[in-house]
Amino acid sequence: MIRSAACVFAIVVFTLSSVALSQEAKDLQTIYATSAAKASLAHDGPLARRAAEIIKKQGGYLASQLHPWDQDAHALLLTRGGSSEGEIRPNTHAAFGFAMLGRVFDDSQAKDKSIAILRFVLPTHGAGGMKCVDGKQWHNQWQSAYWATSAGRAAWLIWDDLDPHLRWLAARMICDEADRFIDAKPPMQIERDTKAEENAWDSEVIALAFNMFPRHPHHERYRDAAIRWQISSFVTSRDAKSDQLIDGKPLKDWLTGANLYDDFTLENHDRVHPDYMGTTRIILYQKLMYDWAGNPPPQSLRYNLDRVYAVSKKLALPDGNFIYPNGQDWQIHRNADWFDLHSFMATQFDDPQAARLMRISLDTCEKMQSRPSQAGGIQPPDEILVNTSHGILFELYADAFLLLRASGEGPEPVTESELWKQLAGTHVFDSGNFVVARTDKSIATFSWGRQIMGLVMPLRQDMLLTPNVRSMIGAITMPDGKQDVPAVKRVKTSALDGGGFAVVGVLARAVAAAEQHFAFITLVDGRTIYVDRLRVTGEKKPAMINLGTLGVLNDRNWVYHNGKRTLAFEGGERVFRADEAATGRAIELSSPWYDLDGLGIVCLHSSGKQIYNAKPSAIKARLEQMFTLNVTSSDAPAEAAIIFYPNLDAQQTKDAAARCKVVQPDAATRVITLDDGKTVTIDFDHLSAGVK
pLDDT along the chain (692 residues), means of 10: 47 51 93 98 98 98 97 97 98 98 98 98 96 97 97 98 98 98 96 96 98 98 98 97 97 96 96 96 98 98 98 98 96 97 98 98 97 90 93 98 98 98 97 97 97 98 97 95 95 94 97 95 98 90 94 96 97 96 95 98 96 96 97 85 98 98 94 97 97 94
In degrees, rounded to 5, the angle at the alpha carbon of residue 614 between the alpha carbons of residues 612 and 617 is 100
Q: What is the DSSP letter of 487?
A: E
CA distance 347 to 302: 13
Q: Cβ distance 336 to 374 under 8 Å? A: no
- Residue 219: closest CA among 229, 228, 230, 208: 208
- Residue 434: closest CA among 301, 554, 325: 325
- Residue 398: closest CA among 689, 154, 621: 154
The predicted structure's pLDDT at residue 159: 98
The predicted structure's pLDDT at residue 274: 96
CA distance 536 to 515: 6
Structural domain boundaries in the chain: 424-691
Q: Cβ distance 604 to 531 under 8 Å? A: no
The predicted structure's pLDDT at residue 13: 43
The predicted structure's pLDDT at residue 374: 82
Q: Cβ distance 43 to 343 under 8 Å? A: no
CA distance 362 to 49: 11
For CA atoms 461, 464, 466, 469, give the dihedral sign. Answer: negative
The predicted structure's pLDDT at residue 5: 47
CA distance 180 to 229: 12
Domain topology for 424-691: Beta-galactosidase; Chain A, domain 5 (2.70.98)
Cβ neighbours for 17, distance < 8 A, ≥ 6 positions apart: none
What is the gyration radius of the CA atoms in the chain, in angstroms?
28
For CA atoms 255, 260, 266, 269, give the dihedral sign. Answer: negative
pTM: 0.94
The predicted structure's pLDDT at residue 18: 58
Helix (H) or strand (E) holding 595: strand 593-596
For CA atoms 450, 455, 460, 465, give the dihedral sign. Answer: negative
Q: With H, G, I as helix, E, B as strand and everything else as coil, classify residue 184.
A: coil
The predicted structure's pLDDT at residue 350: 98
Backbone φ and ψ of 355, nearest 5°: -60, -35
Q: With H, G, I as helix, E, B as strand and everything else as coil, classify residue 507.
A: strand
Q: How many residues does the chain have?
A: 692
